[in-house]
Amino acid sequence: MQKLNRRTFVAGVGSAFAAMGANDRINVAVVGVRGRGREHIQVYAAEKRVRIAAICDIDTAQIERAVAQTRSLGQSDPKTYQDFRKLLEDRDIDAVSIATPNHWHALQTIWACQAGKDVYVEKPASHSIWEGRKMVEAARKYNRIVQIGMQSRSLKHKQRAVQLLREGVIGEVYMAKGICYKRRKAIGQAPDGSPPLGVDYDIWRGPAAQRPFNEKRFHYNWHWFWDTGNGDIGNQGIHEMDIARWGLGVGHLPKRVHSTGGLFGYRDQETPNTQIAEFEYGNALLVFEVRGLLTNTEGTIGLRPDGYVGNLFYGSEGWMSIDSEDFQVHLGEKGEVAQRMRFQEPRRTDTTPHIENFLDAVRSRNYKDLNGDVLEGHLSAALVHMANISYRTGRKLTFDAATETFVNDPEANQFVRDKYRSPYVVPEKI
């Protein structure tokens, strides 16, 4: 993408946006509207301070459905774009809400920041460690509000749980464990073919190396291939990974990581369906486990329709469980329940309060008002990437948090940064 004479462009857009009145509506463009993007539309349409000004997707059929949805929710017809770069030239757009595949998150966020747009981008923040840091640099340099879709940080019962951990409710916390026991069935195999009519497959591939279209690597299944996704540890698991790090209160990356696992039961994807990762922080251990096959639960983590998903914290005086329904504090030798708090949001979604928090920060122009600022998103996503790199190299790795690279390990460091396909390149210098 050309730089669009960004110094002049950003200055103009930034000053115009800062002058927006408190009663002016925020013009939001929703990008990627097949799955999560449609929930974005639902939430923004209910916000009186928002106008859904544009829809962007590489698939014209998805654009048509999203426009119809937007209209049905009482909004005027939005502009439509198939190429994200064209959307960025639209000076009417104040913010973009991104729900595209993982390999696009960093570049779209950086381009949007350079174009003077605020950003809400789905988890995980990045597809690799290096580009996550570039996202942080872009947000800070261009004074943009960038919220990562780690919705748990805006839920009252999870906020309260973390507060209690800080206050020592279970004593000194020595281990946090995230569990992603989410049932994943085989996706099957299919021959390479042609993309559906109306799909711009070149843009969909974007930063990733070109490869033939295959329906089994397209909708949603892109999560299970390294060039576009990060496995379930970076799909569902990033939510629990973030809660584990949040609960431990660590604002830096660990010294060592070891991850092992594999594909069991089926062999039709690249990322593991079973994975265990351990991160050494010195005074505490963070453990993460992915199970995509049939399994039991742990602690008091509740059964969801698709499996067991949540977090456990262990301290010198007891333990705590957190999931989508509640948190429970168990104290003493018998583990008796001492405190409990249920999900309290008035609308049964975790997306609404998180987007509301994003919009509040867009108004205040203070990124510190965000519950899921891009820096927090980068640090949690980096744990996912560290685990996957250990898994792919097959050994325990030592990490330098200052440089965000592995110590004396060229093989591991080749995974720290993606190889980008021109012109979809994350810039070296922001």
Averaged pLDDT in 10-residue chunks for the chain of 430 residues: 42 45 84 96 96 98 98 97 98 98 98 98 98 98 98 97 98 98 96 98 98 97 98 98 98 98 96 98 97 93 88 98 95 92 77 97 98 98 98 98 98 98 97
Same domain flag for 14 and 61: yes
Residue 95's pLDDT is 98
Query: 346's torsion region: left (phi>0), alpha (psi -120 to 50) or beta?
Result: alpha
Same domain flag for 132 and 220: no
Range of the domain at 196: 155-348+380-413
422 found inside a domain: no
Same domain flag for 123 and 195: no
Residue 209's pLDDT is 97
Distances (CA, A) of 66 to 35, 177, 250, 356: 10, 38, 39, 21
Residue 363's pLDDT is 98
Cα–Cα nearest to 311, from 245, 257, 390, 260: 245
How far apart CA 209 and CA 186 sit, in angstroms, is: 25
236 found inside a domain: yes
Same domain flag for 190 and 311: yes
- Do residues 233 and 387 touch, judged by C-beta distance below 8 A? yes
Residue type, 372: G
Residue type, 178: G
- Do residues 52 and 41 touch, judged by C-beta distance below 8 A? yes
Residue type, 192: D
Same domain flag for 223 and 268: yes
Dihedral sign for Cα atoms in the order 255, 259, 302, 351? positive
419 found inside a domain: no
Same domain flag for 265 and 120: no
Residue 21's pLDDT is 53
420 found inside a domain: no
Say whether 300 sits in a helix, a strand or coil.
Answer: coil
Q: How many CB atoms lie within 10 A of CB 140?
A: 15
Residue 24's pLDDT is 87
Residue 141's pLDDT is 98
- Do residues 379 and 286 touch, judged by C-beta distance below 8 A? no
Cα–Cα nearest to 37, from 230, 219, 183: 219
Dihedral sign for Cα atoms in the order 231, 232, 238, 241? negative
119 found inside a domain: yes
